[in-house]
Structure 1
Amino acid sequence: MTSVSEGRIHGGAVPLITRGPLRTTLRAGDGVRIEAVYEPCTAGAAAADGAAGAGTAIVLAHGFTGSADRPAVRRAAEVFAQRAAVVTFSFRGHGGSGGRSTVGDREVLDLAAAVAWARSLGHRRIVTAGFSMGGSVVLRHGALYTAPGVREEGGGRTEAHGEAHADAVVSVSAPARWFYRGTAPMRRLHWMVTRPTGRLVGRYGFRTRIDRRPWDPVPLSPVEAAGRIAPAPLLIVHGDRDPYFPLDHPRTLAEAAGGAAELWLEPGMGHAENAADESLLTRISDWATAR
């Protein structure tokens, strides 16, 4: 798994904001094919007339072993679409996308391609909302892909970053640091990612193709990324019954953001999109369209 910080977005001409669902194949910055689905805001005429969410698209980044067509992702997209247009996609190695999963490294290129596609459809404002692995990816993407005119430390960005940046970021059930093995579910996940037998289980049991190569170099960590997202608004959401990552993870992320992040600790919530109920998803979409 080779760490990257930027790449050019590949894609053809697409129409401006469409009235119906649209499914396409995008090209990430390294050429990997990414399946993506666009769904317009179901508020219909109200959104077109300038209600909250008009012009906004939420790009939904699923968790590890998920995909654009998994029921939990579809449910989240349906709730988000009540407030804004929604782009869902499958990370590399998942669903109908090509390539192999790098478990949060090169996936930032997949998200960038989806964000750039949403802008090409005519949306003026893009909010990324990621769950678990997707939550770590939206944090890293928010740190690496900055809006035009926002100067990064150490130099500028490629032209692709101007169209692929997020205007606000929502990270749900994300880890604060890499290589965490403090819970039984995370130890099982590390076995699946690092062992040949585990990768076979991932491929045939979870329909997820996993890259066997280790990260080189190790990508920017979620906690480091959280401190670099401002001035874009950041929302961190985490359940107090998350079996993967205990509450020190979201608290560390919020602390790293230096007070610029909003932190929601959800009573009784488990992990990621499977545990996010309609009420929480509605509150997230309300936050996304109000910023």
Structure 2
Amino acid sequence: MIRALWTAATGMETQQTNMDVIANNLANVNSAGFKKSRADFQDILYQTVKIAGSSSSPGVEIPTGVQVGLGSRVAAVQKIFTTGDMQQTGNDLDVAVEGSGFFQISMPSGETAYTRAGAFKKDGTGRLVTSDGYPLYPEIVIPENATQVSIGQYGTVEVFLDGEATPTEVGTIELTRFSNPAGLEALGHNLFGETPTTGAPAIGTPGDNGFGILAQGFLEGSNVNIMEEMVNMIAGQRAYEINSKAIKTADDMLQMTNNLM
């Protein structure tokens, strides 16, 4: 009976982690470029009471054994990199990726981070930066006397300078993709970091070799589906509840055993 108490407790702990993941998804439903997470579960150790194939008598084998499971655990919390809805903003510095690819961001540590959130701003020197001030890589600087910024679907950034009728090219936005984007490490601030499981980053220009194209004046919204998360929340709550009832039932059975005396 003690085994049932601990087994059901692992189920409650698993569902608690599941609810944490769902709550984070819902909290970021309006975060640009956010990618939802999913908790994957698996059973854990089994206590083998009788081995399948063992002999019950000379020449007779037991067709099935006796194994008692000891609960469940969270095997992984996976990022789901489906594309979010495109939201038109009309802001010249808002850029969305239609298809595959991440923007490259230079971090203060010298490392490169990656993001799908294209809500760029200009810093004091005219560089395109994230909301936290981290610059886009390769660096693109908008001149101070620029009156309009044009970002083409293939990544070319042009500006119209004050008093000039023809545009001036100031750089090209590059994209990166990975063979296993689910292996990216979430760094917060809408950023992801490379890990050994992502594979080497492939760098290219928008529209080439399978990379997505850019849409100026748009932002990619979160890919969180509120209805789906609400259903998952209800299912997780019921699973947590039924595991708590299993603990209560095991406790009642122990109490009955004690009362036999």
Is TM more than 0.5 here? no
Bigger relative CO (Cα 8 Å, ≥ 6 apart): 2
TM-score scaled to structure 2, two decimals?
Answer: 0.24
TM-score scaled to structure 1, two decimals?
Answer: 0.22
Q: Which has the higher strand share?
A: 2
**Higher gyration radius (CA):** 2
Q: Which has the higher helix share?
A: 1
